[in-house]
Amino acid sequence: MAEALSLIASEDDARFLAGGHSLVPAMKLRLDAPGTLIDIGRIEGLRGIAYGSGDENDCIGPLTTHATIASSNLASALVEAAGGIGDPQVRNRGTIGGNIAHADPASDLPTVLTALGATIRVENSSSARNIEAESFFTGLFETSLGENELVTVIAVPREGAGTGSAYAKLFNPASRYAVVGACASVTLNNGVVSRARVAVGGLTPMATRCGSVEAALEGRSTDAINGASAQVASDVGDDILEDIHASAEYRLGVIPVYVERALQAACARAAG
């Protein structure tokens, strides 16, 4: 890893290559032409999941593939989202680190990591820092990764008893990316939602935390889910994405449905 971090600083226009499922397609279409590719795919220390115990986070190496995550014991929403990425070939090659560094607005994992309150550790050759997922994603294909920095750990809170999470999305039938996606993580106490974290993606330039939905739900019973989900409109702002697959009107029209479905499923899981 030290070698990779030193190369990224010394080589001209260098880029890290992990699973090659974002950068390579862009290169094939000649939308991207890095001067140097640094293949980090065989740095074993960056691969795999270290499960925490007790209140410790689960730590995911950035080279962990979607397929590995989809069959892991990580937070349910993350497992669910990883299993819905692309197809088996993509899941067997694509990595979580590459995925979040690329920060495609239609990607599932940024939404999920934001909702779960994950922390992303990034390093360069001389220093390391931790970034909350919520502030890691800063815009359309933009992150707070600095020059020559590499994602080295994705730390995800463990789901204890009474906590559950879920991810619901409308698949783009071509790419399987999210036309819209919603992730919810909730803690239930005697039928009352004591903590809710909700994020949406696909319709906004970056994964977006839904404070209004959370506020409308926290301290209330699950009966409040339907009403709280409708609050998502005030969380997503005016910059709603639109393309040949879906209008902004449609995305805005259905996002409450997916928020509600994610919340319902998360609550069901939290209730055990």
Partner 1 sequence: MAKFVGKSFKRVEDPRFLQGKGKYVSNLQRPGMAYVAIVRSPHAHAEIKGIDASAALELDGVVAVYTGQDLIDGGVGQLPCGWVVPECKIPERWPVEPARARHVGDAVAVVVADSPYVAEDALELIEVDYEPLPVSVGARATTEYRAQQIHAEIPNNTAYAWALGDEDGMRRAFREAAHVVELDLVNQRLIPNAMEPRACMAEWDNTTEEMTVWTTSQNPHPIRLLLSGFTLGIPENKLRVISPDVGGGFGSKIFHYPEEIIVPWVARAINRPAKWVATRSESFMTDSQGRDHVTNVRMAMDATGTITGLHVQTWADQGAYLSTFAPLIPTALSITLFSGLYKIPGIWGEMKGTLTNTVPVDAYRGAGRPEASYLLERIVEKGAQKMGMDPIAFRRHNLIPADEFPYQTPVAFQYDSGNYQGLFDKLEEISGYGDLREEQKSKRAEGKLWGVGVAGCIEASGPAPSAVAGSLGSAVGLWESGTVRVHPTGKVTALTGSHAHGQGHETTFAQIVADELNIPLEDIEVVHGDTGRIPFGMGTYGSRSAAVGGSALVRSATRVREKMTKIAAHQMESRPEDVYFDDETGNIRVRGATDDGMSFFEVALAAYTAHDLPPDIEPGLEETAFFDPSNFTFPNSAHIAVVSIDRETGEVTLEKYFGVDDVGKVINPLIVDGQLVGGVAQGVGQALWEHGIYGEDGQLLTGSMMDYAMPRADRFPHIETGRIETPSPTNPLGVKGAGEMGTIAGTVTVANAVVDALAPLGVDHVEMPFTAERIWQTIQAHS
Which residues contact partner 1 (rule: CB under 8 A)?
28-30, 87, 170, 172-175, 177, 179, 244-247, 250, 253-254, 257-258
Residues 6+ apart with CB under 8 A from 220: 192, 193, 228
- Encoded amino acid at 86, one letter: G
Among residues 7 and 254, whose Cβ is nearest to partner 1? 254
Among residues 45 and 173, whose Cβ is nearest to partner 1? 173
Tell me the closest approach of the beta carbon of residue 272 to partner 1, in angstroms.
Answer: 27
Tell me the closest approach of the beta carbon of residue 219 to partner 1, in angstroms.
Answer: 27
Tell me the closest approach of the beta carbon of residue 169 to partner 1, in angstroms.
Answer: 11
Among residues 192 and 257, whose Cβ is nearest to partner 1? 257
Among residues 169 and 269, whose Cβ is nearest to partner 1? 169
Q: Are 86 and 94 in contact (CB under 8 A)?
A: yes
Tell me the closest approach of the beta carbon of residue 70 to partner 1, in angstroms.
Answer: 14
Tell me the closest approach of the beta carbon of residue 260 to partner 1, in angstroms.
Answer: 9
Structure tokens at 58: 């689960």
Among residues 28 and 42, whose Cβ is nearest to partner 1? 28
Q: Are 259 and 184 in contact (CB under 8 A)?
A: yes
β strands within the chain, DSSP E: 14-17, 36-39, 49-50, 58-60, 119-123, 128-132, 137-139, 142-143, 150-156, 163-171, 178-189, 192-201, 208-209
Separation CA 207–CA 250 (nearest Å): 18
> Rounded to 5 degrees, what are φ and ψ at 118?
-75, 160
Among residues 21 and 209, whose Cβ is nearest to partner 1? 21
- Encoded amino acid at 23, one letter: L
Separation CA 18–CA 41 (nearest Å): 5
Tell me the closest approach of the beta carbon of residue 206 to partner 1, in angstroms.
Answer: 19
